[in-house]
């Protein structure tokens, strides 16, 4: 028989604590306390720039080390805090080195920062094996796939059906897409997310990154990962087995659910975040439009080429999105910029951290160069 509380108390670090994933994580922790449980001790909270928000959290979690990451010191703080589990909710490539620091500190990694896997997957996995720590995907789709493969057997899986909301511009024409602004894109229908991932959702670069993430996390070739547009974001992904059966994971679109799952893995705990209501539920599925959203086929190309190409796809996209926010590039320039940077020759051999960070920097420089040379064209 199991003890009434099977979870040893765990020291937890929340990176990007004032962002969207961080807020959801802290909500999961608060609910845990409200339920009269005491499963987690918050030992570190970081924010890149939100000093005020961080200080407020410091009052609520007085034992946590607080790090304002733009001033540096996050890597050292992770080593000092020695968390048992680290939730990495940092946006973009900036999340890679903190992930590495967490693994080095012997911490399990609840990973919402998909760039860690996209840029450095193979390296991260070998480090995790060496340090005997777990990588637990928090991205809702990958959390779903992770659990489906666990439940039904990885060896019996034929393909992954990765669902995508399709973003706010799913129904716009190519011409209309050319005219959208950052403000238009920041009104996303189902998930409330940070600005960078919102643009990525609109361009489907987010789904592209998730395809690469799935290739690397689940060791599946890109052609066995199919993107299915599903605007309601209730089916978080599906797995088709060799015998033809398709298993899906459904729940309300609420990031607290996959975070809750990752924090308690491999056990489960009751979730207080509501249940899916089937009384009025419509589920639609359609094929993604690759002509309107070229970031998707470009991601497949990067995944097929492997090596540094996924890292370069990400770096070029981040630079392109920055330029879009700064009104130096249009919405449809984003895939043009990424295509240009991917057309250069990149290493496909075994990766080390130095070459990954160098490729990331070069991809951004090439993107900026392209933007400067093509302004107003």
Q: Please work out the total of residues on this chain that contact Mg ion, with binding judged by CB under 5 A.
A: 2
Single out the segment in contact with Mg ion by CB under 5 A; choices: 40-48, 133-141, 258-266, 323-331: 133-141
CB of 54 to Mg ion, least distance (A): 25
- Encoded one letter per residue, x for contact with Mg ion by CB under 5 A and - for no contact, window 140-159 reads -x------------------
Single out the segment in contact with Mg ion by CB under 5 A; choices: 10-18, 139-147, 193-201, 238-246: 139-147
**Torsion-angle region of residue 233: left (phi > 0), alpha (psi -120 to 50) or beta?**
left
Alpha-carbon separation of residue 262 from 67, 87, 135 (angstroms): 23, 9, 9
CB of 141 to Mg ion, least distance (A): 5
- Smallest CA-to-CA distance from 133 within 105, 114, 93 is with 105
Single out the segment in contact with Mg ion by CB under 5 A; choices: 8-16, 75-83, 136-144, 368-376: 136-144
Binding residues for Mg ion restricted to 313-372, rule: CB under 5 A:
none
- Smallest CA-to-CA distance from 115 within 206, 28, 32 is with 206
CB of 274 to Mg ion, least distance (A): 20
CB of 210 to Mg ion, least distance (A): 6
Whether the Cβ atoms of residue 22 and residue 16 lie closer than 8 Å to each other: yes
Single out the segment in contact with Mg ion by CB under 5 A; choices: 118-126, 137-145, 274-282, 362-370: 137-145
Residue 139 or 333: the one with the smaller Cβ distance to Mg ion is 139
CB of 165 to Mg ion, least distance (A): 9
Angle of helix 205-218 relative to helix 195-203, nearest 10 degrees?
Answer: 90
Strand ranges for the chain from DSSP E: 10-15, 40-47, 65-68, 85-88, 108-111, 135-137, 157-164, 225-229, 235-241, 246-250
Residue 92 or 307: the one with the smaller Cβ distance to Mg ion is 92
CB of 136 to Mg ion, least distance (A): 14
CB of 362 to Mg ion, least distance (A): 27
Is residue 261 near Mg ion by the rule CB under 5 A? no
Residue 183, SS3 per DSSP: helix
CB of 24 to Mg ion, least distance (A): 13
Residue 47 or 113: the one with the smaller Cβ distance to Mg ion is 113
- Encoded one letter per residue, x for contact with Mg ion by CB under 5 A and - for no contact, window 62-101 reads ----------------------------------------
Residue number of the CB closest to Mg ion reads 139
Binding residues for Mg ion restricted to 168-187, rule: CB under 5 A:
none
Q: For the range 45-48, what are the long-range contacts, defined as Cβ-Cβ under 8 Å and sequence gap of 24 or more?
A: 45/13, 45/14, 45/17, 46/13, 46/14, 46/15, 46/16, 46/17, 46/74, 46/77, 46/90, 46/98, 47/16, 47/17, 47/18, 47/19, 47/22, 48/16, 48/90, 48/94
CB of 111 to Mg ion, least distance (A): 12
Tell me the residue length of the chain: 377
Alpha-carbon separation of residue 38 from 29, 31, 254, 259 (angstroms): 9, 10, 23, 17
Please select the residue that binds Mg ion; options are 139, 200, 213, 360, rule is CB under 5 A.
139
Is residue 254 near Mg ion by the rule CB under 5 A? no
* CA 141 to centroid of chain Cα atoms: 9
Residue 218 or 340: the one with the smaller Cβ distance to Mg ion is 218
Residue 98, SS3 per DSSP: helix
Which uninterrupted H or E stretch holds 322? helix 309-325
Residues that bind Mg ion (CB under 5 A): 139, 141
């Amino acid at each position: 028989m199991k003890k009434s509380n099977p979870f040893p108390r765990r020291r937890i670090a929340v990176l990007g604590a004032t962002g969207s994933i961080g807020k959801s994580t802290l909500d999961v922790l608060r609910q845990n306390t409200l339920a009269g449980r005491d499963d987690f001790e918050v030992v570190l909270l970081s924010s890149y720039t939100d000093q005020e928000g961080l200080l407020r959290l410091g009052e609520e979690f007085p034992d946590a080390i607080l790090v304002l990451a733009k001033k540096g010191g996050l890597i050292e703080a992770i080593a000092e805090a020695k968390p048992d589990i680290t939730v990495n909710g940092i946006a973009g490539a900036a999340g890679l080195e903190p992930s590495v620091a967490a693994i080095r500190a012997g911490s399990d990694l609840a990973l919402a920062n998909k760039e860690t896997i996209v840029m450095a997957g193979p390296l991260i996995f070998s480090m995790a094996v060496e340090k005997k720590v777990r990588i637990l995907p928090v991205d809702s789709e990958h959390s779903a796939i992770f659990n489906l493969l666990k439940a039904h057997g990885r060896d019996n899986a034929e393909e992954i059906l990765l669902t995508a909301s399709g973003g706010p511009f799913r129904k716009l024409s190519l011409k209309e897409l050319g005219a959208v602004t950052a403000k238009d894109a920041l009104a996303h229908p189902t998930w409330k997310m940070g600005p960078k991932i919102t643009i990525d959702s609109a361009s489907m670069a987010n789904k592209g990154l998730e395809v690469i993430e799935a290739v690397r996390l689940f060791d599946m070739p890109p052609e066995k990962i199919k993107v299915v547009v599903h605007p309601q974001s209730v089916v978080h992904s599906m797995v088709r087995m060799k015998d033809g059966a398709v298993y899906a994971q459904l729940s309300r679109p609420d990031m607290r659910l996959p975070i809750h799952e990752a924090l308690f893995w491999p056990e489960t705990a009751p979730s207080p975040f509501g249940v899916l209501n089937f009384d009025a539920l419509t589920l639609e599925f359609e094929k993604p439009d690759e002509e309107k959203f070229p970031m998707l086929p470009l991601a497949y190309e990067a995944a097929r080429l492997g090596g540094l190409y996924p890292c370069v796809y990400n770096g070029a996209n981040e630079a392109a999105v920055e330029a879009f926010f700064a009104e130096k590039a249009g919405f449809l320039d984003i895939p043009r910029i990424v295509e240009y940077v991917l057309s250069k020759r990149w290493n496909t051999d075994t990766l080390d951290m130095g070459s990954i960070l160098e490729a990331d920097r070069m991809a951004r420089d090439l993107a900026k160069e392209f933007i400067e040379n093509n302004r107003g064209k």
